Amino acid sequence: MIITRRLAAGACALLAALAGGAGPAQAADGPSKDSPKVELVLDVSGSMRARDIDGQSRMAAAQQAFNEVIDAVPQGVRLGIRTLGAHYPGDDKAIGCRDSKQEYPVGQVDRTEAKAAVAALRPTGWTPIGYALRGADQDLGTDGGTRRIVLITDGEDSCGRPDPCDVARELAAKGTHLTIDTLGLAHDDKTREQLSCIAEATGGTYTTVRHTKELSGRIKQLVRRSDTPVDEAPKPAKGANECATAPEIGAGVWTDRATFGEHRWYRVKVRPGQELRAAASVAADRQVDRDYGVLVRAVGENGQELVRGSDAGSGRTDVMASGLRYPVGKARKGDDRDARSVCLEVSSSFSAPANVKRDPGLPVELAVDLADAPDKPSDLAAFGLGRGWVLLAVLGVTGLVAGLLWGWLARWRVAVRREN
């Protein structure tokens, strides 16, 4: 089973949001030696001249997306840029298949210099993907911090040696915590298969891109994700089909697989005075239909639903996540209640065309945390907008105040018009 690290990052990021915490502040003098490193590897081969992305060439779309990404790089991320096929326009395959160069070194980003390097690129030569991946691995070094390569290409490797999939497996086997994510600007099966193979070998993601906004948004997402490393290795857990037979899990990150439409159940012990925080992610690691959703529910021992979190979307995605919070009040004096058993149900509404394989199921990741419950009753609202009469009262008062202000302004405007 291939465990995709993208789920862990997505689930843990959502769990951090549930906790309401903020990440550590970055030093004013730039990223530290242990900060994450990302290298963008861009295909600048001749085929990037094709004009099929929002009325412009693939190269122009990539340059526009890179400029937006450079402007949005988190302060704590070291970024570099490497190209393939950018400098040799000839027909000598031996030379063309070594045409890969680092255009901007991995480190704190000087936006002016990085954008200038991107602006000078012109579609030129071959597509030596395997050779470029080895170069990017060397660019990232091994001085600490997570390591990520984001490959953007419009076609499969045109050199054959070294084979990109073999290179990805070779880099993964080195154990240097490298993740390779791939983005395809072309939509043929051969390109899709090769880029999927590269990504899966290192626990990365593959995404097909058709628009400039999708390209810049996806690269930004991957760069931000590198700044949210997963501290704990995910552990396998096989969910049950019902609460009564669900396996017991504790705090940590848990992985599973669920077929389309399947519900998975897990059991967590929550002691009085603790708050259960759970985030579930489901990865669309194959072609799926455009409408989907993810639901995670907490259910009590008597089968009553305690709280739920859900999210839904439409269009292309690689990960969908949802989360919840459920606090258990502190035990009163003389109350010797044991830990409460809470069942977590994870389900999704992904569907797929008839020709898409169903086995193995979609990757599921569940991040669980048990924290001290809030002291104030107002803090015990479940994940979401809130619940109960307090929320209704706040909304009512807000509406009343807004109405009075609007009425006063309207009267004032009428009075001013009469005077004029």
Show me where the domains of the chain are located: 36-226, 235-380
CA atoms within a 13 Å half-sphere pointing along the CA-CB vector of 380: 13
What's residue 37's pLDDT?
Answer: 93
What's residue 221's pLDDT?
Answer: 87
What's residue 316's pLDDT?
Answer: 65
- Please tell me if the domain spanning 36-226 has the same topology as the one spanning 235-380: no
Higher-pLDDT residue of 286 and 4 is 286
Which whole number is the average pLDDT over 76-85? 94
Listed in order, strand segments (DSSP E) in 203-286 are: 206-208, 235-236, 252-258, 264-270, 274-283
Q: What is the pLDDT of residues 20-49, one digit of tens each?
A: 544 444 444 566 777 899 999 999 999 999
Q: Round to whole Å and give the CA distance between 250 and 265.
A: 14
What's residue 23's pLDDT?
Answer: 42
What's residue 14's pLDDT?
Answer: 52
Please tell me the CATH code under which domain 36-226 is placed: 3.40.50.410
Task: Report the percentage of the chain scoring pLDDT > 90.
Answer: 40
What's residue 230's pLDDT?
Answer: 52
Q: Round to whole Å and give the CA distance between 11 and 210.
A: 27
Residue 216, both tokens: 């810049």
Is the CB of residue 219 less than 8 Å from the CB of residue 200? no
Burial group, residue 22, by CB count within 10 angstroms (0-12, 13-18, 19+):
exposed
What's residue 380's pLDDT?
Answer: 40
What's residue 33's pLDDT?
Answer: 73
The pair phi, psi for residue 323, each rounded to 5°, is: -150, 170
What's residue 134's pLDDT?
Answer: 95
Which whole number is the average pLDDT over 332-342? 68
CA atoms within a 13 Å half-sphere pointing along the CA-CB vector of 157: 26
- The CATH fold assigned to 235-380 is Jelly Rolls (2.60.120)
3-class DSSP assignment, residue 269: strand
Task: Report the percentage of the chain scoring pLDDT > 70.
Answer: 79
pLDDT above 80: residue 309: yes
Listed in order, strand segments (DSSP E) in 185-331 are: 206-208, 235-236, 252-258, 264-270, 274-283, 291-299, 305-314, 319-327
Residue 113, both tokens: 């210099």
CA–chain centroid gap for 237, Å, is 22
What's residue 183's pLDDT?
Answer: 93
What's residue 382's pLDDT?
Answer: 38
